[in-house]
């Protein structure tokens, strides 16, 4: 128990200092390490394993919808980046520039990709000629680099891991359909795999991606009621295609420009998992991406037959497809309990001499702390069901947080008060003008999160200027 207390006391409590709690979890659960370069982090094995599980789940969904993976260079010539005006304006200020190759000074300096639209367009120009070449449905798993001034594990790195989908279509309708399809895949993945409820909607013109015609987003609410933009999907129209002179001969035998999309999610989702589900004892991982779903711990392991029983239990779990491990180290039971709570392992399964006598094991859920004694004969039916219950429990708790802290507001003051006193998503009507969006930032400290697909008429006038409202919009404070 001494060990357990020691381990637990090492994390700052969420209510005391949420930011410090977050950093403590990232480092003590061994998800991440710092490096000597500011803003560049190391994804440690436990953190990277979460990303591998995320990748496997998403990659399967991408391939099932006809997408293919490719890999394009890490470096983009400045001249190529400059071909699309809005795009370069958005990204050039935060690029890292390669100016020397070996001992040779480069004529055209190269930036490390902040995103790869321009490279994909250069390639698409080479390979798209006829309507038979469309659609092109490509995805890339890679890292990107943005020279941010501030950084935070998972949420804002100078270099982070992500996937970027880039597709080309014969018609605007097809491209728009793709933009929605991928947003829906993200939403489904976040809710049904990460147990993170989302609000789907469209970004305002101010908040959309540089160079996009339309940007769609899935927004999540963290435990501290701040917003996390967890994934985006963009419709580009034929703007890039025109800038890069990409054309194809249609069925009508006439040259057309194809229509483009891009969409991405990143390791920022791991930050979202931590801040959605974590608690004062550490990380709480949604079972479907947890690197270890069940940790088997022998009790009084020096006693005859205990280790063998624990090992048999482990084998049965693995045969079920459960990602299970056994800790038979000489650390105390208290230390083990605290350690795997810190690491967010969904189920802790203990078995000792008394359990063996009764033909049972003791299963403790990380999300609720609930313990139950499960007959060994029922292991195969109980464990998968418990993992699903942990998922459902996490999702329900996060959904309640989102619903409890989304508030209809009618005035700027009301929004401001809501943010100061409680925090969350302020739901208001909006006239659609940039001026009002800027004023909301200035007067209430909020940015627009999205224009939700699920619209309601919460009043008739804009929360800010009082003119007739066009849309319902969500405001919040974002990571």
Binding site for its own copies (CB under 8 A): 33, 35-37, 40-45, 48-49, 51-52, 68-75, 77, 80, 93-104, 109-110, 112, 119, 122-123, 126-127, 138, 142-143, 145, 147, 158-159, 161
Closest to its own copies by CB, 31 vs 364, is: 31
Neighbours of 435 (CB within 10 A): 10
Q: How far is the CB of 133 from its own copies (least distance, A)?
A: 12
Whole-angstrom Cα distance, residue 287 to residue 294? 9
Integer CA distances (angstroms), 40 to 21, 70, 147, 158, 261, in order: 20, 25, 10, 6, 29
Closest to its own copies by CB, 120 vs 425, is: 120
Q: Are strands 324-326 and 294-298 parallel, antiparallel or unpaired?
A: parallel
Residue 135: asked if its preceding bond is cis (omega within 30°), the reply is yes
Q: How far is the CB of 153 from its own copies (least distance, A)?
A: 13
Integer CA distances (angstroms), 367 to 14, 207, 345, 346, 364, in order: 16, 35, 9, 7, 9
Q: How far is the CB of 93 from its own copies (least distance, A)?
A: 6
Element (H, E) at 432: none
User: Do residues 116 and 86 touch, judged by C-beta distance below 8 A?
Assistant: no
Closest to its own copies by CB, 44 vs 439, is: 44
- At 253, is the secondary structure helix, strand, or coil? coil
Closest to its own copies by CB, 223 vs 336, is: 336
Which residues, including other chains, have CB under 8 Å from residue 409's CB and lie 6 or more apart? 415, 418, 426, 427, 428, 463
Which residues, including other chains, have CB under 8 Å from residue 210's CB and lie 6 or more apart? 86, 87, 89, 90, 91
Whole-angstrom Cα distance, residue 18 to residue 280? 10
Q: Which residue has the tokens 């890490």?
A: 74
Q: How far is the CB of 240 from its own copies (least distance, A)?
A: 16
Closest to its own copies by CB, 38 vs 470, is: 38
Whole-angstrom Cα distance, residue 392 to residue 383? 14
Closest to its own copies by CB, 100 vs 254, is: 100
Nearest to 264 by CA among 199, 182, 191, 193: 182
- Please give the structure tokens belonging to residue 212: 């996009």
Q: Which residue has the tokens 């010539």?
A: 77
Closest to its own copies by CB, 45 vs 369, is: 45
**Distance, C-alpha 172 to centroid of its chain:** 28
Closest to its own copies by CB, 161 vs 387, is: 161
Nearest to 473 by CA among 421, 443, 432: 432
Q: How far is the CB of 394 from its own copies (least distance, A)?
A: 26
Q: How far is the CB of 96 from its own copies (least distance, A)?
A: 5
Nearest to 444 by CA among 464, 465, 423, 415: 415
Q: How far is the CB of 202 from its own copies (least distance, A)?
A: 29
Q: Which residue has the tokens 């180290």?
A: 329
Neighbours of 346 (CB within 10 A): 28
Q: How far is the CB of 294 from its own copies (least distance, A)?
A: 18
Closest to its own copies by CB, 138 vs 216, is: 138
Q: How far is the CB of 158 from its own copies (least distance, A)?
A: 8
Closest to its own copies by CB, 31 vs 198, is: 31
Q: How far is the CB of 176 from its own copies (least distance, A)?
A: 24
Neighbours of 471 (CB within 10 A): 17
Closest to its own copies by CB, 20 vs 329, is: 329
Q: How far is the CB of 122 from its own copies (least distance, A)?
A: 6
């Amino acid at each position: 128990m001494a060990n357990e207390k020691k381990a637990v006391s090492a994390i700052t409590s969420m209510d005391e200092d949420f930011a410090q709690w977050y950093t403590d979890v990232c480092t003590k659960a061994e998800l991440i390490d710092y490096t000597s370069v500011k803003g560049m982090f190391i994804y440690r094995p436990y953190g990277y394993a979460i990303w591998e599980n995320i990748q496997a789940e998403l990659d399967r969904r991408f391939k099932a919808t006809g997408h293919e993976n490719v890999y394009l260079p890490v470096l983009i010539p400045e001249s190529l980046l400059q071909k699309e005006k809005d795009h370069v304006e958005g990204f050039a200020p935060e690029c890292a520039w390669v100016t020397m190759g070996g001992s040779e000074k480069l004529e055209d300096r190269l930036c490390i990709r902040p995103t790869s639209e321009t490279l994909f367009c250069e390639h698409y120009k080479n390979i798209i000629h006829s309507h038979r070449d469309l659609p092109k449905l490509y995805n890339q798993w890679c890292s990107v680099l943005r020279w941010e001034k501030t950084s935070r594990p998972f949420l804002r790195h100078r270099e982070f891991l992500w996937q970027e989908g880039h597709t080309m279509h014969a018609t605007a309708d097809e491209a728009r359909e793709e933009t929605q399809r991928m947003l829906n895949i993200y939403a489904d993945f976040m809710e049904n795999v990460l147990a993170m409820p989302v609000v789907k909607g469209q970004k305002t013109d101010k908040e959309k991606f540089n160079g996009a015609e339309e940007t769609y987003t899935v927004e999540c609410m963290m435990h501290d009621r701040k917003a996390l933009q967890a994934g985006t999907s963009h419709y580009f129209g034929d703007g890039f295609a025109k800038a890069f002179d990409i054309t194809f001969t249609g069925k009508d035998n006439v040259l057309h420009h194809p229509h483009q999309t891009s969409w991405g999610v990143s390791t920022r989702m791991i930050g979202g998992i931590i801040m959605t589900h974590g608690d004062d004892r550490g990380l709480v991982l949604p079972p479907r991406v947890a690197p270890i779903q069940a940790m088997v711990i022998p009790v009084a392991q020096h006693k005859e037959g205990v280790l063998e029983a624990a090992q048999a239990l482990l084998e049965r779990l693995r045969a079920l497809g459960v990602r299970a491990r056994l800790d038979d180290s000489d650390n105390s039971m208290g230390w083990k309990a605290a350690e795997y709570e810190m690491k967010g392992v969904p189920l802790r399964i203990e078995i000792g001499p008394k359990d063996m006598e009764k033909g049972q094991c003791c299963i403790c859920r990380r999300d609720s702390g609930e313990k139950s004694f499960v007959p060994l004969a029922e292991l195969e039916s109980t464990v998968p069901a418990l993992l699903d219950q942990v998922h459902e429990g996490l999702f329900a708790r996060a959904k309640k947080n989102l619903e409890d802290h989304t508030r209809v507001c009618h005035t700027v003051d009301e929004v401001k008060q809501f943010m100061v006193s409680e925090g969350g998503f302020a739901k208001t009507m909006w006239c659609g003008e940039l001026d009002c969006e800027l004023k909301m930032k200035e007067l209430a400290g909020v940015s627009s999160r999205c224009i939700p697909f699920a619209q309601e008429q919460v009043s008739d006038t804009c929360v800010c200027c009082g003119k007739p409202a066009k849309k319902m919009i969500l405001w919040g404070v974002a990571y």
